Chains A and B, each alone.
Chain A
Amino acid sequence: MNLKDVLSPLYVWKRAFEKPYTIKTLKEPRPGADRYRGFHQNDLDKCIGCGSCAEICQNVSIDMIPVSETKEGDSGLRPKIDYGRCCWCALCVDICPSGSLTMSNAYTWVEEGLDKDVRETFCFTPGVDKKPWDNEEKGYRRLEGYELSILERVKMEELAPAERVNSFIEMVKGFSKEQAKKEADRCIECGICTATCPGHMDIPGYIRAIREDDIEAGIKILYATNPLPGVCGRICTRRCEEVCSLSLRGEAVSIRWLKRYLTDSVEAEKYRDLLHDEVVPSGKKVAIIGAGPGGLSAAYYLLRMGHSVEIFEQNEAAGGMLRYGIPEYRLPYGSLDKDIDFIISLGAKVHLNTKVGRDVNFDDIYKDFDAIFAGIGLSESFKIGVEGEDLPNVTSGLNILKLVTLGQDPQLGDDVVVIGGGNVAMDAARTARHLGAKAKVLYRRRLEDMPADPVEVREAIEEDVEFITQGIPLKIEQAPDGKLDLIWGKAEMVDDGSGKRPSPVLIEGSREVMRVSKVIAAIGQGAEYGWLEGETTKQVKLGKWKIEADRWGRTDDQKIYIGGDMFNKTADAISAIADGHRSARSIDSYLAGEEYPKDRF
């Protein structure tokens, strides 16, 4: 042992003269670092209550609980966090699709009165229950360069614009198995889409089936709520994708294309084995007027319930608007027939070219059948309401589309103008492009106001359809060269301050002339009630716009149900399918003699 070893430990006394580095936390609280993972904050304006936070929490410390204030596309639930369980891992912040959930840098919480309910002790609903750290700027946010959710969708391959204008080949190519599984993997299974879908399809369910490569289970899920999945997989208006929680910060899951992938993966012949169900015949007969999506849907479910079904269709093929209103490049007839043939193969008797009120009497149907479901749709195109509308080369969008479906030449000439901004207008303009004519669209409002599907607008632009917006048609005149002169005026958007969307007002004296070979009006359609004549229809009440019926489609006559475009407000295929399904269940109860709740809205 040397002297140095004895003395050197005395060196520690040097420290006695240094400033102590103790932090006096009680007097001067030390804030957490900028990224500190402290108590939660929730931006209620963004939160949609999808429950992803509760799903990923490994400590089960997050409960979704109902709150009073909700908004559109919102489940009405908010995360309540139990700090007896929370481990501050912040995976809930990372997975939050809306980006509403964050963590503050606060880490002290003094709770008084621990004699209260144990479920309320050190638990709170961020954003709803006020806390001192609600507005704290510092704290954990998802950091740049790191993203747990998969925000980009798998790209769908489609034909190039130049390629597709030459033919009516389906432009979207569909997912391969790998692509579909990858896209299905993005779903976080919150189920908000299910509530939004008019048919309440179990969307997370069939997406899970795709992910697990169980096509059969997927098809069964589809048919539980939608007997035309192949159609909806192509042309659905997909409200589900609008509310998809991934769409808040990224792109929605391609729900429509995934549905299409499921139906494309199964051959038509296999449907029967797959969806095999023992049916006990009820001996009741139901008549269905109109073989559109609503009628077909009702037919499918009624057949499944054991009733015999006869369908009356005025056209030469079933499908309604799906066949005559949607161009082939969006919905090939083969795909449509696959779904329809399966429904008919279950035993539906179809009377084609049979118009009720012309070829067959409504009274006779009423007497022969136990119940009637009518899904006539909206077939009467609205008039533009300008002078010269009755000239020979002025027609309607639906008429053009129907002629093309029937294989007839719509005689468009080389230059057409479509008036309107809805899906029919887009279809008509694009059909004209596919037939080789130049096409313009004249719309009263701005591009962003168009009711048409934005994807269709984009595709129309890709196909060189020319858009003239804020243009109001004034008059149509016969031009000397056999063409037409469409006289129109420019409009300006006026906001009347009532909170409604701005309306177009014609600029005084504005007058433009457009020389075209055909004027196509596509500004909406109305219903036609020629079929509803006879002794037995007296009880059915007509409202201001449509026939009055409750949410089951039941009119004031117990036997008569309605559905589809003529009944619902949204007028799309999936709503019609949902109507058919709902009415079918109601008809089933009615035929079984059950009492039905009388609710109206």
Chain B
Amino acid sequence: MNKIYEDLSSRFTLSDYHQQRDNLAFVTVEKAQLVSAITYMRDYLKFTHLVLMTSVDWLEQGKFQLTYLLHNYELHVNFGLKVMLDRDNAVMDTIHHLWGHARVYQRELHEMFGIDFPGSPGVNEPMILESWQGPPPMRRDFDTKKYSEETFDHRPRQHVEPEDYLRQNLYPED
């Protein structure tokens, strides 16, 4: 693990290295270097398997965290490369030329988070949310509860909180 990290850090600007387990580590890469870093890992470090691509919305910091999780079948280790994107201008370089299924991940990320991957085939096509009108729904500022309350009818609740109920009945004036 450390060897991989040292090799990578000699070539790329890395930060926040964190080894979670013997076979799992995460590191943050500069946005501009991601594609070259991930290509280097695939072609020279034998991280040939793209496990998943996902995004974490750090709304408070105004950032999207993109995680690319890679796997090395010889060492049986996972390595996660992370990139921080500005939430306001969420554009990332595509990696669909490296892995066929990256195209699908990028399409989903575009749809769910509104992160654009220019050049990725079909990235603008709706995948799951055909005819969806609202903002990208996986963004944290999209409130699913509010949406469902506005959109759907609910069976009204009759719930009473025990503490309030006791207060009303036993000591309303205190």
Contacts and interface: CB of A to CB of B under 8 A. Distances in A.
Interface stretch (B21-29, B115-123, B133-141, B162-170): B162-170
B160 interface: yes
Contacts of B170: 195
Nearest to B163: A191
A200 interface: yes
A579 to B, nearest CB: 11
B168 to A, nearest CB: 10
Interface stretch (A1-9, A48-56, A287-295, A346-354): A48-56
Contact of B162 (A51, A84, A200): A51
Interface in A68-120: 75-77, 80, 82, 84-85, 118-119
B158 interface: yes
Interface string B132-168: 0000000000000000000000011111111101110
Given A200-B171, A200-B174, A582-B174, A63 B166 contact: no
A77 B174 contact: no
A194 B159 CA distance: 19
B158 A204 contact: no
Given A195-B171, A200-B174, A76 B166 contact: yes
A60 interface: yes
Contact of B169 (A76, A191, A204): A76
B155 A195 contact: no
A84 B159 CA distance: 16
A49 B162 contact: yes
Interface string B82-124: 0000000000000000000000000000000000000000000
A295 B122 CA distance: 78
B167 A195 contact: yes
A64 interface: yes
A66 B165 contact: yes
A66 B160 CA distance: 8
Given A195-B171, A200-B174, A582-B174, A119 B166 contact: no
A597 B172 CA distance: 13
A278 B120 CA distance: 63
A441 interface: no
Contact of B158 (A63, A195, A200, A597): A63
Interface residues on B, range: 10 to 19
A18 B173 CA distance: 76
Contacts, number: 61
A192 B166 CA distance: 8
A65 B155 CA distance: 15
A66 to B, nearest CB: 7
A192 B165 contact: no
A195 B166 contact: yes
Nearest to B164: A191
A406 B166 CA distance: 43
Given A118-B155, A195-B171, A200-B171, A64 B160 contact: yes
A493 interface: no
B159 A195 contact: no
Contacts of B162: 49-51, 64, 75, 77, 190-192
A191 B161 CA distance: 9
18 contacts: A50-B162, A54-B159, A63-B157, A64-B162, A65-B158, A65-B160, A66-B165, A75-B165, A76-B169, A77-B160, A118-B155, A119-B155, A191-B163, A192-B162, A192-B166, A195-B167, A582-B174, A597-B173
Given A60-B157, A80-B158, A119-B158, 12 more contacts: A54-B159, A63-B158, A65-B159, A75-B165, A77-B162, A77-B165, A82-B155, A85-B155, A190-B163, A192-B162, A194-B167, A582-B174
Interface of B: 155-163, 165-167, 169-171, 173-174
